[in-house]
């Protein structure tokens, strides 16, 4: 198959590289000329494990190329994917579809024979129909079908997720687009990946419903964490006890500073608007959004509280700035609320993130950036872990305690328990860890049989 991907960001680049790995001939288009220039020179503009090798291999094999010019790519394509951004529209929180419609218009201008236009961008229900209407209005007589193929990959594990997805969802409106989607994903069909062919509307909604449900799990466990702290329970144990129930499952039950990233915040907001547009109040999603917004701000209070009620003129060492590990993506990261909150309260910040600092420097210009984790700690009054990068899981805590003025560890991701930090002289504060020391020291109850 010949494939064009319009929009070469986190989703477009990974999808394009993976489709070329399947053997298809892929041209990735982006209107950002600097990005395309870097890609043509073999440079990957984002951090995503394994992506560089995949792109190199398929460029060398002549199956993957990059351009700014849709005219080079679209006319000969069997399928054209739209993978441009759909951020929150400024002011009202609706999904901003201007990039999607601009891409659709440009595609229409260059189409020749039968082509399937596929939305991979996350778009509100009804967008596929509107794209089809626009295409037909712009170029009456074009032979086309519009399909929806939402993407579920996670940054940081994007290639694995694309190559071995839990499912493929394809919303189609015609047998020809079904055949094209089958041909595109043939290697995964052979792997017995579940493939769900639905209406376009269902496919569009599956994506939002999935993200909203995952966000719900996160806000749910975060509220449980607050309760744990008041009643002497451990949220890790509560989550494990819940997650072992197969109806619930263990994933997305990690208490922390609230969800961020390029998807959950904007997608939950957009879903609320879709509900409102159709007079269907989505009260659960509404609560999830509110809980999450408050959560990030509450982390500032938590840190200030742990520092004795004030951080004025105190130095806080911050580890991790990206919204999650294994990505350089800073979009909606909890750090973007927590760090300014601490600065406003009078703290100075020294931070380190393995991949996010280039982007962070533009978003958080008023903090110190360090070359490694330990460089943040000299003379610090508190150490705060915001993102759970693996390299923060095994810090030399004796060394850390010696470097710091006050050995106080505020672990917003619960990557440590009390044991090791306290042995090194730290005061340890996690999230939802309400069990007091003496209780924790009690021997486990023996189960007497018979
Ligand atoms: P991104 O911002 O990383 O990339 C979008 C790219 O599109 C940019 O490079 C931009 O220059 C380009 N672009 C915009 N308009 C264009 C046009 N008219 N022609 C050519 N290029 C154009 O965005 P992303 O994170 O890859 O997300 C893309 C879509 O995929 C969004 O709808 C998002 O919700 C969805 N999604 C994202 C993820 C994720 O983890 N990032 C996961 C699943 C779904």
Q: Mean pLDDT, to the nearest integer, of 76-81?
A: 98
Report how far ligand 1's centroid is from the alpha carbon of 125 (Å). 18
State pLDDT tens for residues 305-318.
Answer: 999 999 999 999 99
Q: What is the 3-state secondary structure (H, E, C) of 281-293?
A: CCHHHHHHHHHHH
In 3D space, the residue among 139, 135, 149 whose CA is nearest the CA of residue 178 turns out to be: 149
CA 150 from centroid of its chain's CA atoms: 15
140-149, 198-207, 438-447 — which is least confidently predicted? 438-447
- Confidence check: pLDDT of 345 > 70: yes
pLDDT band with cut points at 50, 70 and 90 for residue 91: confident
- Confidence check: pLDDT of 170 > 90: yes
Report how far ligand 1's centroid is from the alpha carbon of 209 (Å). 20
Alpha-carbon torsion (289, 295, 296, 297), positive or negative: positive
How high is the pLDDT of residue 190?
87
- Bridge partners of residue 25, in order along the sequence: 2
How high is the pLDDT of residue 185?
97
Query: Parallel, antiparallel, or unpaired for β 382-385 and 408-411?
Result: parallel
402: which 2 tokens? 């010696």
Q: Mean pLDDT, to the nearest integer, of 36-56?
A: 97
Report how far ligand 1's centroid is from the alpha carbon of 121 (Å). 7
369-373, 407-411, 434-438 — which is least confidently predicted? 434-438
How high is the pLDDT of residue 72?
95
How high is the pLDDT of residue 446?
41
Q: Mean pLDDT, to the nearest integer, of 36-59?
A: 97
CB 324 within 8 A of CB 156: yes
Higher pLDDT, 247 or 440: 247
Q: Mean pLDDT, to the nearest integer, of 198-204?
A: 98
State pLDDT tens for residues 145-163.
Answer: 999 999 999 999 999 999 9
Domains present along the chain, CATH in parentheses: 2-207 (3.40.50.720), 235-450 (3.40.50.720)
Q: Whose CA is nearest to atom 3 of ligand 1?
A: 9
How high is the pLDDT of residue 437?
43
Looking at ligand 1, which atom is closest to the CA of residue 13? 26
CB 321 within 8 A of CB 330: yes
CB 119 within 8 A of CB 82: yes
Alpha-carbon Rg for the chain in angstroms: 24
How high is the pLDDT of residue 435?
67
Residues designated catalytic = 263
Helices (H), 47-146: 51-60, 70-73, 98-110, 127-138
| 11 Cβ closer than 6 Å to some ligand 1 atom | yes
Q: What are the angstrom distances between the C-alpha of 408 and each of 334, 344, 380, 405, 439?
A: 20, 21, 9, 9, 21
| 107 Cβ closer than 6 Å to some ligand 1 atom | no
312: which 2 tokens? 């004025």
State pLDDT tens for residues 238-263.
Answer: 999 999 999 999 999 999 999 999 99
State pLDDT tens for residues 404-424.
Answer: 999 999 999 999 999 999 999
Q: Whose CA is nearest to atom 20 of ligand 1?
A: 30
């Amino acid at each position: 198959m010949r494939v064009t991907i319009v929009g070469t960001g986190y989703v477009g680049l990974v999808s394009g590289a993976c489709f070329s790995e399947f053997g298809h001939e892929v041209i990735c288009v982006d209107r950002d000329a600097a990005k395309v220039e870097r890609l043509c020179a073999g440079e990957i503009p984002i951090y995503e494990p394994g992506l560089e090798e995949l792109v190199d291999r398929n460029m060398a094999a002549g199956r993957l190329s990059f351009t700014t010019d849709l005219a080079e790519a679209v006319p000969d394509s069997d399928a054209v994917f739209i993978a441009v951004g759909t951020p929150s529209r400024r002011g009202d929180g609706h999904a901003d579809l201007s990039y999607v419609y601009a891409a659709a218009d440009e595609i229409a201008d260059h189409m020749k024979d039968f082509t399937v236009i596929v939305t991979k961008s996350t778009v509100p229900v009804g967008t596929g129909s509107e794209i089809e209407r626009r295409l037909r209005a712009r170029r009456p007589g074009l032979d086309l079908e519009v399909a929806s193929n939402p993407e579920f990959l996670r940054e940081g594990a994007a290639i694995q997720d694309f190559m071995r997805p839990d499912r493929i969802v394809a919303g189609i409106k015609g047998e020809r687009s079904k055949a094209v989607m089958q041909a595109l994903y043939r290697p995964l069909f052979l792997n017995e990946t579940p493939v769900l062919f639905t209406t376009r509307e269902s496919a569009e909604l599956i994506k939002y419903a999935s993200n909203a449900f995952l966000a719900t799990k996160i806000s749910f466990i975060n509220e449980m964490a607050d309760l744990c702290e008041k009643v002497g329970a451990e949220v890790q144990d509560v989550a494990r006890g819940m997650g072992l129930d197969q109806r619930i499952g263990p994933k997305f039950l990690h208490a922390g500073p609230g969800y961020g990233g390029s998807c959950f915040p904007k997608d939950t907001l957009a879903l609320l608007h879709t509900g409102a547009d159709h007079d269907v109040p989505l009260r659960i999603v509404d609560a999830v959004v509110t809980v999450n917004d408050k959560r990030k701000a509450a982390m500032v209070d938590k840190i200030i509280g742990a520092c004795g009620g004030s951080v004025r003129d105190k130095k806080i060492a911050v580890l991790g700035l990206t919204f999650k590990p294994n990505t350089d993506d800073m979009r909606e990261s909890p750090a973007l609320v927590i760090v300014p909150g601490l600065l406003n309260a009078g703290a100075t910040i020294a931070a380190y993130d393995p991949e996010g600092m280039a982007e962070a420097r533009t978003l958080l210009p008023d903090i110190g950036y360090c070359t490694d984790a330990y460089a943040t700690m000299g003379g610090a009054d508190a150490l705060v872990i915001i993102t759970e990068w693996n390299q923060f899981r095994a810090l030399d805590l004796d060394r850390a305690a010696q470097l710091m003025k006050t050995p106080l560890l505020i672990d917003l991701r619960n990557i440590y328990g009390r044991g090791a930090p306290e042995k090194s002289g730290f005061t340890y504060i996690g999230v939802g860890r309400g069990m007091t020391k003496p209780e924790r020291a009690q021997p486990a109850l023996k189960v007497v049989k018979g």
